[in-house]
A and B are shown apart, each in its own frame.
Chain A
Amino acid sequence: DAKTTQPPSMDCAEGRAANLPCNHSTISGNEYVYWYRQIHSQGPQYIIHGLKNNETNEMASLIITEDRKSSTLILPHATLRDTAVYYCIVRGNTNAGKSTFGDGTTLTVKP
């Protein structure tokens, strides 16, 4: 599975949009981009995933560049409860479904 690169930390003001970038320049054609977040002392929570089209659900939006080498997770109106470590993972539908976690981005939402 392709490796991902994320900034180690970001701050965001409460109520503003949080835009979390992820680089995956070695992504291959059948690999999806997945986003999870981990709030302190809990298991990771699935947020959203996509292949090449932009995706939106009740939690967030995922914007994938046309060349698929990077993506951005958007939390449209960040709240204090969105403070967490956000992981961007690239995974194909082979390799037994294993996901490799990088260091993620620690997002701190400030009042």
Chain B
Amino acid sequence: GAVVSQHPSRVICKSGTSVKIECRSLDFQATTMFWYRQFPKQSLMLMATSNEGSKATYEQGVEKDKFLINHASLTLSTLTVTSAHPEDSSFYICSAVAQVNSNQPQHFGDGTRLSIL
């Protein structure tokens, strides 16, 4: 089946650091990828939709200058958490779909656990 790889799986860093998370579709091309955030004991919350070759679309309440998204190729999207603070600690998950506006399912990465000290 379709595979989405996310890296790193875990990051621990000091407050004020910027952290980059990569999301790759390994065996298919994805014009669109999605970034989610999940706090403990809660469901996934969509942060933004990442579109190859164009600007990302952010959900209401998500700061675009805080969470920078780059989707430079059909197989790679990156999320950079800029000047991270303890409240940004969370589980960040990406997903990709091979064909937008189709019934094909999303495939998810294994997530990145970000801990800001």
Contacts and interface: CB of A to CB of B under 8 A. Distances in A.
B12 interface: no
Contact of A43 (B1, B46, B49, B110): B110
Which secondary structure dominates chain A's binding surface? loop
Interface string A81-111: 0000001000001101111111110000000
Given A49-B103, A102-B43, A96 B6 contact: no
Nearest to A38: B44
B105 A96 contact: no
Contacts of B103: 32, 49, 51, 93
B111 A96 contact: no
Nearest to B6: A43
Given A97-B97, A98-B46, A101-B43, A45 B105 contact: no
Contacts, number: 64
A42 B111 contact: yes
B101 to A, nearest CB: 5
Interface string B52-68: 00000100000000000
B53 to A, nearest CB: 15
Given A41-B113, A104-B43, A97 B57 contact: no
B66 to A, nearest CB: 20
Interface in B66-112: 91, 93, 95, 97, 100-103, 105-111
Interface of A: 32, 34, 36, 38, 41-46, 49, 51, 87, 93-94, 96-104
Interface of B: 1, 4, 6, 32, 34, 36, 43-46, 49, 57, 91, 93, 95, 97, 100-103, 105-111, 113
28 contacts: A34-B105, A38-B44, A41-B91, A41-B113, A43-B4, A43-B6, A43-B109, A45-B108, A46-B105, A46-B106, A46-B108, A49-B103, A49-B105, A51-B103, A87-B43, A93-B101, A93-B102, A93-B103, A96-B57, A96-B101, A97-B106, A98-B34, A98-B46, A101-B36, A101-B43, A101-B44, A101-B45, A103-B43
